[in-house]
A and B are shown apart, each in its own frame.
Chain A
């Protein structure tokens, strides 16, 4: 039995040694959203930052709700998400510092070419939501506490509709990320609200197209903040601050503006919030 114990101890030491070997280059961990990762923005933006500063950025891409939770636990150094109300609450509760607006993009309403709710070309997103509910056309929802999900729920409440209590099963709450939700909308010819970045880089569009866009209520603001080092002493505040400063610097903002897919700009740099 002692041999067994010795082996266990040896393997634990091996594990620790292996993990120490990984941490060579200085790095920060950023909790962010699926929209920034899946749209390919980080793949374009982060190498530029790393090249300039030598700091590696490790992105954990989850929904906004979960990203804030990771920050709350102190498991990342910087949070980069898109739900201003939840971000301000996060700072208010003392978990985050120095929240800054970084950029915005917009949401688009995506739907099947057949357009059973006749909303194509509309300019008023709330009216379009009402028409979808009236037509009981399939609507595929994130339902995962993400920034997109919260924006969608705000639009339903502006339309005076509670889709979660709607009958006839036209409202499908999938509890998944933007990509899987778009996959489902494509498969069942449903409508869904997507951020433009994920939509543009999404490769399985099938019969889907943008039906409503351009409403001011569809602006989608991204903010960045440092996890409060007073709560979590492990937070690499110097490196984290460098990242935040770079994002809002002229160089960072230009890089964000330079990211395009098929000529279309995905994110609009703005350190003062979107135009109203």
Chain B
């Protein structure tokens, strides 16, 4: 109980002090995770829609793989990207290891399957409802996929938010490919891991409380935007 109160106090103090290190860590965390989610959405949403709409050999297998990859352990994704970006690896000449870019790449690997799998499920239901209309219309496959994504845009926000949750809270992958370098690749979650190992549990939990508040704020904003947009679109 004592530690929990200390943590709340530590969180307050950190926020009130406006510590520039904290501001840098928070901006880096959000920058990396939101960039990763945008890229993962660009990849994952069309992938999910394609799996929902198109009939092709191996579609079931592809769906199973995407669903399974939702459970990809972050450490494994991190290790995979690490070996890819290592100076001894195939992309070593880019010199990306231990940079924020490497962390974005690792998170894209983690988040894309989540967005694709959730989007596929939602769009498949939608597709069942509207399939006949599209056939009557004689729309091309590309146009069908695009228009289905547009039609489902409000519910797809949930798929994207699931991706945000995974990205912002994740530590295993970015710790490996980022290296938790102070001022360069230290994020909220890796800082929490470091403070825990230093035994400063109050500060670690304090950072955790700030992280949780940020995730809440992101979700509240998304909810607000969705409601406003839905009202404007009147559907």
Contact = CB atoms under 8 A, between A and B. Distances in A.
Contacts of A74: 86-88, 92
Interface string B95-111: 11111110011000000
Contacts of B196: 179-180, 183
Which of A37, A59, A60, A61 has its CB near the most chain B CB atoms (within 10 A)? A60
A1 B199 contact: no
Contact of A22 (B88, B100, B182, B201): B100
A187 to B, nearest CB: 11
A217 interface: no
A202 B199 CA distance: 6
A204 B200 CA distance: 7
Interface string A193-225: 000000001111100000000000000000000
Contacts of B96: 19
Interface in A56-108: 58-61, 73-75
Contact of A201 (B42, B198, B201): B198
Contact of B197 (A16, A38, A205): A38
A203 B199 contact: yes
Contacts of B99: 19, 22
B209 to A, nearest CB: 18
B100 A203 contact: no
A11 interface: yes
A264 interface: no
Interface in B56-100: 86-89, 92, 94-100
A243 B177 CA distance: 24
Interface in B167-205: 179-182, 184, 194, 196-201
A136 interface: no
Contact of B42 (A11, A183, A186): A11
B63 to A, nearest CB: 19
B97 A75 contact: yes
16 contacts: A15-B104, A16-B94, A19-B99, A22-B101, A29-B181, A38-B198, A73-B86, A74-B92, A75-B87, A75-B88, A75-B97, A75-B98, A178-B197, A179-B199, A205-B199, A234-B92
